Structure 1
Amino acid sequence: MPIETIAGEPFNIRFDGPADAPVLMLSNSLGTNLSMWDPQIAEWAKAFRILRYDSRGHGLSVATDRSFGIDRLGQDALAILDHFGIEKTHWCGVSKGGMVGQWLATNARERMGRVVLANTAAHMGPPSLWNDRIDIARSRGMAALVPGVLERWFSPRFRETEPATVVKVSEMLTTTPAIGYATCCAAIRDMDQRETIRSIANPVLVIIGKLDPATPPAAGHLIADAIAGSRTVELNAAHLSNLEQPEAFTGAVLDFLKA
């Protein structure tokens, strides 16, 4: 996978699909990397030029112990687009990637086409929850967080029937740089987009996991209610719905992007 230098910092970036197709940019959840999108790529790349990347602090991209907010993650996405001369893209983000998508649709709406916000929230409290995760990552490492995260991210049934996927995600979590995870946790802790997203005018699809304890259905409905004209799809999945219900997720996004 190629490492590109974006504004002086390394980012792991991958393209799939026809070079002349409309661009669809994908943004990963907290604690994962661009491979979380593997189940979607074959189908989506038939119609779109897929641009996926490891978010700051994740995978093989830059990870430094400097504080930042969701705006920095949004600016990273814009810098990647600028680097490749891409004026406009559709967007699909899960969890943290959906938070970045909200910021982009609010602050750089002219760069966004259709926007998919999946298993995400406009605000996630309390601060103590995030401070505890930051402390664990910094003091004990990522391995100490993995069991609890997997319980929130996948339903019990899925953990029993699809162990290979759970193992893959566990490996992503374990190999995420602890400082990258911690600094992104702080960005989520300090985020509140509940009012600003009311200005979003792009077409938006909100995907909700009916079994999601991390960003529960109420969080998704809050976003949908705040954005005029937005659509919602509810899937029988927990937090990483693109992995727990890959066919349904893939189809819902395609239907929306082609509408």
Structure 2
Amino acid sequence: MLAHTLTGPEDAPVLVLGNALGTTTSLWRDFSLPFRVLRFDHRGHGGSAPVPGPCGIEDLAGDVVELLDHLELRQVYYCGVSLGGMVGMWLAAHTDRISRLALVCTTAWVPDKARLDERIALVRSSGISAVADSVVSRWFTPHCAPSVVAEFRDELLAVDVPTYLACVEAVRGMDLRADLAKIDVPAVVIAAAQDHATPTELVRRIADELVDSELYVVGDAAHLAVVEAPRTISVILDEHFGD
């Protein structure tokens, strides 16, 4: 069972928040949303135990379904960043558990697999510390507070190494492009202008393929835009899920 917290008014709609690879629920610490909020850590991250062996996006999504079943939540709103967004796309395409969707700084597939191949090789040979600086440098803009960068770097270094590798390989092998047309729930798609991990053109392609979506581009943020621009994104989410 994934480590999780469920907070907020008991009579409010439940909003599930899915984290980026290498991060934990602290990703959302600056968000105060008028919903009953379910935060969770992916397998091998934060308080969630590692799961041995390889995995795909469908397995990570299955972890979320198991959590929803455990909490007796039939249908929820869902917002995911990067890997969390990939999980959200799979859930919305293959289950009826998601009634509204938000996707932040994510992609339906990775065209540049060489970068991930290099990361996988380095982590296998030398651990996450060998890639930590390059990964975190893509998460934030240069003017982000050094203390914030250091905190998230420490979180990345704490991830279970075999699970991290399995998740990177899941992202590398993922192709959700054909699934986008199956997603018929209202969606908001958010890109960050300075995101070099999932550039705006990749995020825009998701919005273009979804049946019912709006696209927003946040200017002064990189891949972890929810950390650098929480107020802007909170407004977008509040408007989308509060309709």
In structure 1, the residue matched to 2:215 is 232
CA distance in 2, matches of 1:195, 1:227: 11
- TM-superposed deviation, 1:100: 0.4
In structure 2, the residue matched to 1:173 is 156
How big is each residue's C-alpha offset from its partner over 1:172-227, in whole Å with a ceiling of 9 and x where there is no partner? 11111111110000100110011211121000000000110000000110000000
How big is each residue's C-alpha offset from its partner over 1:125-172, in whole Å with a ceiling of 9 and x where there is no partner? 3333222212222221112211101211111122xxx12211211111
Give 3-state SS (helix, strand or coil) of 2:17's partner: strand
- Greater Cα shift, 184-193 or 56-65: 56-65
What are the residue-to-residue correspondences of 1:205-244 with 2, within 5 Å?
Answer: 205-236=188-219, 237-244=221-228
What are the residue-to-residue correspondences of 1:105-124 with 2, within 5 Å?
Answer: 105-108=92-95, 110-124=96-110
The partner residue of 2:88 within 68, 87, 101 is 101
CA distance in 1, matches of 2:11, 2:25: 22
TM-score by length of 2: 0.96
CA distance in 2, matches of 1:175, 1:126: 26
- TM-superposed deviation, 1:250: 1.2
- Residues 58, 70 of structure 1: CA spacing in aligned structure 2 closer, same or farther, 3 A cutoff? same
In structure 1, the residue matched to 2:53 is 66
How big is each residue's C-alpha offset from its partner over 1:34-57, in whole Å with a ceiling of 9 and x where there is no partner? 1111111xx21xx21110110122
CA distance in 1, matches of 2:57, 2:135: 21
Give 3-state SS (helix, strand or coil) of 2:88's partner: helix
| One-letter amino acid matched to 2:202 | A
| One-letter amino acid matched to 1:35 | S
How big is each residue's C-alpha offset from its partner over 1:77-132, in whole Å with a ceiling of 9 and x where there is no partner? 11100001000110010000000010011001x21111000000000133332222
The partner residue of 1:251 within 235, 238, 243 is 235
In structure 2, the residue matched to 1:3 is none
Q: Which runs of 5+ in 1 are unaligned?
A: 1-5
Give 3-state SS (helix, strand or coil) of 1:156's partner: coil
| One-letter amino acid matched to 2:88 | G
Q: Structure 1 residue 147 and structure 2 residue 133: aligned? A: yes
In structure 1, the residue matched to 2:35 is 48
Instruction: Report how many residues are paired.
Output: 242
Question: Percent identity at matched positions?
Answer: 36
CA distance in 2, matches of 1:84, 1:241: 29
What are the residue-to-residue correspondences of 1:131-142 with 2, within 5 Å?
Answer: 131-142=117-128
In structure 2, the residue matched to 1:196 is 179
| One-letter amino acid matched to 2:137 | E
Give 3-state SS (helix, strand or coil) of 2:30's partner: helix
CA distance in 2, matches of 1:180, 1:51: 22
RMSD across aligned C-alpha pairs, in angstroms? 1.2
Q: Which runs of 5+ in 2 are unaligned?
A: none
CA distance in 2, matches of 1:231, 1:210: 16
- Greater Cα shift, 53-62 or 230-239: 53-62
Give 3-state SS (helix, strand or coil) of 1:242's partner: helix
CA distance in 2, matches of 1:253, 1:145: 32
